[in-house]
Amino acid sequence: MFSGLIDLPWWGYIVVALGMTHVTIASVTIYLHRHQAHRALELHPIPSHFFRFWLWLTTGMVTKEWAAIHRKHHAKCETEEDPHSPQTRGLSKVLWEGAELYRAEAKNQETLDRYGHGTPDDWLEKNVYERNWLGITFMAVIDLILFGPIGLTIWAVQMAWIPFWAAGVINGIGHFWGYRNYNCSDAATNLVPWGILIGGEELHNNHHAFATSAKLSSKWYEFDIGWMYIRILQMLGMAKPKKTIPTPKFVLARSVPDSDMLQAIITHRYDVMTRYLRSLKATYQEEIEQLRVKHASTFTLKSGEMRRLILADKLEAEEAAQRQAALERSERLATLENMREELNALWARSTASKDQLLAQLRDWLERAERSGIIQLQEFAQRLRCYAA
């Protein structure tokens, strides 16, 4: 019986399977995700063509389809139009049927036309790579010739790796469970602080906060192996990152806000909002507890649930009514929320001029410092220290 051209111990086949799937993960995160979908880096033709070829062999994914679906995910995140949000479709559906959701959206020509611009459209793409069945069949033959019958097991692992880890785990659990560095408008989370198994995609909250960053890690304790590979390619002259997550810079507090301070606050808006909630966490908690004690018959939710209700951006009609009732009964809580919403509006008002935004910032700081809420006053002082 033919046993393949390469004979390995049992653990050798596991190493080969893990090594090949890791190359696939690297190809997805570097080429499809950061290079094609978000244009976060430039790639030399050599690694670019290698990644296209390898993905054709191991996934059968078409670049235009993947980039278009991912861009639509960002544009319509956590809405009914999001191709794979666990917030609207349920965690189980996305986790176990993520590949089916991908294939269904790939048939939507409107998605491809609207979001698939700028992807490869050369002879190879049209005549080779778009014939995805051909690549994965070729890979099965290669595995069979190299490793014999066990090669088909290796091939099966290769075929299941991306559908489960990328389409299932990242798109599902990465929008449902984990920690958040940035208070962005969607539900994206960081699964773990070390992005190794899935090429750095584990740092999903960081990515959604700064989608065009070629580097997905932002804290000193986070590690993005995909970024390590990009840096190696950069040293070889084969990659050029365009953007990375900006690091806040602080100077002495300005007495009069200027345009540089405004620009710094807008640039670091997620950091600003995260610091706002962290700085005022104790104040929120204190006000919520007092509200629950004074109006126990009206507000029966636990403290954590009440805090989620107050801070949530999207609520059902009944929950929204509860939130409004809570704010009407607590002046300090209403102040905190009004100030949070107004601060967030600084970068949401795209039609406002720089002078108008600067006037709004000055007014916000003055009212925060007159609020009588110590933590809010301290945060306003910290806001004066942001620098471009």
pLDDT per residue over 93-132, tens digit each? 999 999 999 999 999 999 999 999 999 999 999 999 999 8
Give the integer Cα–Cα distance in Å for 155 and 378.
58
What value, to the nearest 5°, has the Cα angle with vertex 314 and ends 383 and 67?
85
Instruction: Give the residue with greater pLDDT, 306 vs 11.
Output: 11
Q: What mean pLDDT is predicted for residues 6-31?
A: 96
Give the integer Cα–Cα distance in Å for 231 and 219.
18
Give the integer Cα–Cα distance in Å for 155 and 214.
30
Give the integer Cα–Cα distance in Å for 164 and 169.
6
pTM of the model: 0.86
Handedness of CA 74, 80, 84, 87 (dihedral sign): positive
Give the integer Cα–Cα distance in Å for 47 and 30.
10
pLDDT tens for 260-319 read 999 999 989 989 998 999 999 999 999 999 888 888 888 888 888 888 888 887 788 888
Give the integer Cα–Cα distance in Å for 294 and 306.
14
Q: What is the pLDDT of residue 234?
A: 98
Least confident interval from 210-224, 259-273, 303-317, 359-373: 303-317
Q: What is the pLDDT of residue 352?
A: 81
CB neighbour list of residue 297: distance below 8 Å, 6 or more residues apart: none
Give the integer Cα–Cα distance in Å for 313 and 301.
18
- Residue corresponding to tokens 């929204």: 320
Q: What mean pLDDT is predicted for residues 192-217?
A: 96
Q: What is the pLDDT of residue 235?
A: 98
Which of 305, 40, 33 lies closest to 174 in space, CA to CA? Answer: 33
Q: What mean pLDDT is predicted for residues 58-82?
A: 96
Q: What is the pLDDT of residue 37?
A: 98
Q: Hey, which residues does 194 pair with through a beta bridge?
A: 223
Which of 388, 386, 378 lies closest to 272 in space, CA to CA? Answer: 386
Q: What is the pLDDT of residue 350?
A: 63
Q: Which two tokens stand for residue 18?
A: 């893990």
Q: Which two tokens stand for residue 97?
A: 């049927």
Q: What is the pLDDT of residue 348?
A: 79
Q: What is the pLDDT of residue 63?
A: 97
CB contact at 8 A, 130 and 122? no
Q: What is the pLDDT of residue 1?
A: 58
Q: Which two tokens stand for residue 255?
A: 């007495």
User: Is the pLDDT assigned to residue 338 strictly greater than 90?
Assistant: yes
Q: What is the pLDDT of residue 22?
A: 97
pLDDT over 70, % of the chain: 99
Average pLDDT score over the chain: 93
Number of C-beta neighbours around residue 22 at 10 A: 16
User: Is the pLDDT assigned to residue 2 strictly greater than 70?
Assistant: no
Q: What is the pLDDT of residue 297?
A: 82
